[in-house]
Structure formats: C-alpha cells, structure tokens
Amino acid sequence: MGRLGWALAAVLLLLTVATAPLLLPQHLSPDTPSATAAPTPAATAVPERTAPYRAVWVSYLEWQQVDFSGADAFSRDIAAMLDNIASVGATVVLAQVRPFGDALYPSDYFPFSHLCTGIQGRDPGFDPLALLVEAAHASGLELEAWVNPYRLQAGGVPALCDQSPAVTHPDWVKKTETGSYLDPANPDVRQYIADGVEELCRNYALDGIHFDDYFYPTTSATFDAAEYAAAQTGLSLADWRRDNVNALMSLCHGVTARYGVRLGVAPLGDPELCYDGQYSDAARWLAQGGYVDYLMPQLYWGLTYEQNGDTAHSLDTLAARWADLPRAEGVALYVGLGAYRIGDGDGSTAGAAEWQSGHALADQLDALETLGIGGAGLYRYASLWANSDWPDLADAERQALAARWVTAAPGY
C-alpha cells in the first residue's frame, strides 16, 4: 500500500484502463470450474460482527513519525492517534506491524523492525504491539495486525540484519527491480508465514489479521521459471501462481479460524489486476469460505473519475462490479477509500474538484451504502490528521466523516 506498490499498480492500470470491461470476464466467475487444484478451505470460527466496520489504516509511513524511544513516549503518541481515529466514528485500526519481514513486536520468526530504532533487529526495549492492542481496546477500537506476507525489502530499504528471513533463508528469496520477496511457490515459505500469523494470534488479543495487496510482485515469466519447471504441473504459469497464493490464504485462514480471529485482505481495486497482475483470485475468496472473512478492495478513485470519457474505474462502477460478485455466507465485502487523494485528486481527466470539495469521502460512503456495501476503510491516517499540503481540506473531510459515521444508523 506504500508508494512503490501503488506505482506498480498504476503502471498496470494504465495498460488496462482503456480496455477493462465493465463486467467480470468469464474466467473470473466463481461459478466457472477452476483449472487449479484449490486447497481444502477451513471453516470459519469468527464471531459475527455487531459493530459497523469503519477502519483507518496506520502504515509504516505513520510509524516513521512516532516516538519509539521508550514505552511512555510511544504510548503518548499512539494515544493521540487513537483518539483522533475514534473521533470520526471509526471502529477498527489496521496497524501495520510487519512491513518488511520485520516486526513491531518480539518474534521467533522476524527481527524487530527498523522502524522501532532505525536499525533492523535492534530491540526497542518494549513491545509496541502489546501497548497498541491495549490502548486501542481501551479506546473502544478494534485492532487488526496488518501484515505484508511476502515483501522483505523495497528499493534497498531497510538494511537487512542477520536475523532477516532474507539472510537466514536465502533460498526462499526472489528479487525483482522493486525489491526482495519471499517466494510464493515455496511450501516452506507458506508455512513460515502461517506460523508467523499463528504467533500473532496466540500472543496478542487481536481482532483480526489483515493482508494488503502485495502478492506476486511481477508478471515476468523469469521470476520463477525454475520453480515452475520443477513443479511439473499441467497448470498454466498463471494458474499455478494463483494456486500458490490460494494455498497461502487457505493455510493462514485455517490458523485464524482456530483462534476466532478474522482474516481480511485489501486487494487491488481492479479485479483484473488482482487476477492477472498479482495472481490473487479475490473473486474465489469472496465466493467460497475458507480463504478470508472479508475483502476490502482498494477503490482509490473518485465517483467522477474518468479517463477521456471512460468511467470504468470510477468508484461507483468498480464497487458495483465487486458487489455483483457471488459472496459466501460469512464473507463480508467492504471498500477501501483513498484519503490520500484529498486535494491532489486521482488523476482523472475530469479534474480534481471532487477531491477538493471537503466531503469527497463522505459522498463515497453514501454511494457505497446504496450498493449495500456496509463497511469501509480509509487509507491512510496521516492524510486526514497530518496533511501539511491540504490541512483545511483534511479538516473538512474529517468533519464530514464524523457527521456521517457518528450519526449513522447502527450497523453501517
């Protein structure tokens, strides 16, 4: 969800926006027999929600502005953040706790994040996640641990310590021009990621585990040509990759279900890019139990978004496509909204007026409600509470959100 990831998504989007169909193609229909050998899904054990799902993402970019010098300083900073989040009527914090194969908590699998001390692997002397969970619950907020499952390094950042999985298991690592990633095709990698999820569920009173949109980092056949050849599968390369991601999701959901913790994913907003660009079969996850408890696609374009008259990627058009997909009982659909677009806009050829209105996000919530989509997330915290470029607009957006969420009917 960082700028590097969105740069990649933007490139793929530009390649598809002119030809993206309004309706999902046949190969994305969950009613179509799959060419892949899907893993056996695990039954969910997550309690049914009673509170509305209104989330705010707190990313590693926010952690760069938080004082990790000691438990007291950290607690002061996060208390202010949580108060702000609660003030607009949000109910869920999506806190990034494992951004680069490193952790904001003591782990048997991952070194301490460089975000805590400036050096990956250095113990800050306290457990940030434990304090965060306690403070969130004390503020009446749910806390989901946001995990990036595969990414280890982006653009050479962070400098890796000896305890990084990239160093301890170099045979697990795949590299692209954008960074280093754990190999999605390796069963040992999938188990390692699932073990890390179980560690979180076991050690913390979490309300959820949240994955973002980083799955396969490239479509290049050279990325995993040797692994694909060794698999000796009858599947196409694309279907084989989707099978690998499906296997990870099924494995991790089996873990979270045992602990009664929900598992959610925020895939790319365009279903085509999910399916063919990152090999994440989000339509299947939505239609079948055993992969996720919710999806929250990132629909970071406005209601008036267009490219020279083409509105295929406007928020209401994309949201309608997701809402029309088959949905298994117990699997929820929410939508991620792009608070970071405030002021600057979304690149629409119609201009940025929507994003300079002071109520763009509230209007988008209204549009989602008409489609029966009863929950949303806002990306990201700093765009609303530390927006130095558009402070007045951010303030107006917060007030409009609060008017919408604080006074909304129960259940939305």
> Whole-angstrom Cα distance, residue 345 to residue 301?
8
Per-residue pLDDT at 27 exceeds 60:
no
Q: What pLDDT, on a 0 to 100 scale, did the predictor assign at position 31?
A: 43
Residue-wise pLDDT for 125-158, tens only, equals: 999 999 999 999 999 999 999 999 999 999 999 9
pTM: 0.89
The answer to whether the beta carbons of residues 411 and 332 sit under 8 Å apart is no
Residue 349 lies in a domain: no
Q: What percent of the chain has pLDDT over 70?
A: 87
Q: What pLDDT, on a 0 to 100 scale, did the predictor assign at position 295?
A: 98
Per-residue pLDDT at 38 exceeds 70:
no
Lowest-confidence segment of 32-46, 173-187, 233-247 by average pLDDT:
32-46
Residue-wise pLDDT for 237-264, tens only, equals: 999 999 999 999 999 999 999 999 999 9
Residue with tokens 């782990």: 107
> Whole-angstrom Cα distance, residue 383 to residue 337?
12
Nearest C-alpha neighbor of 94 from the set 242, 298, 234, 288 = 298
Residue 171 lies in a domain: yes
Distance of CA 329 to the CA centre of its chain: 22
Q: What pLDDT, on a 0 to 100 scale, did the predictor assign at position 47?
A: 67
Residue with tokens 């939505």: 286
What's phi and psi for 283, nearest 5 deg? -65, -40
Supply the CATH number for residue 204's domain. 3.20.20
> What three-state secondary structure class fits 154?
strand
Q: What pLDDT, on a 0 to 100 scale, did the predictor assign at position 411?
A: 45
- Domain interval for residue 222: 3-13+52-298+370-405
- Domains: count for the chain: 1
Please tell me the chain's helix, strand, coil percentages from 3-state DSSP, rounded to the nearest 5. 40, 15, 45
User: Which of the two residues, 19 and 139, has the higher pLDDT score?
Assistant: 139
The answer to whether the beta carbons of residues 246 and 183 sit under 8 Å apart is no
> Whole-angstrom Cα distance, residue 140 to residue 86?
8
Average pLDDT, the chain: 90
Q: What pLDDT, on a 0 to 100 scale, did the predictor assign at position 326?
A: 96
Residue-wise pLDDT for 392-405, tens only, equals: 999 999 999 999 99
Residue 280 lies in a domain: yes
Residue 338 lies in a domain: no
Q: What pLDDT, on a 0 to 100 scale, did the predictor assign at position 408?
A: 55
Residue 365 lies in a domain: no
The answer to whether the beta carbons of residues 333 and 371 sit under 8 Å apart is no
Residue 40 lies in a domain: no
User: Which of the two residues, 25 and 313, has the higher pLDDT score?
Assistant: 313
Q: What pLDDT, on a 0 to 100 scale, did the predictor assign at position 409?
A: 47
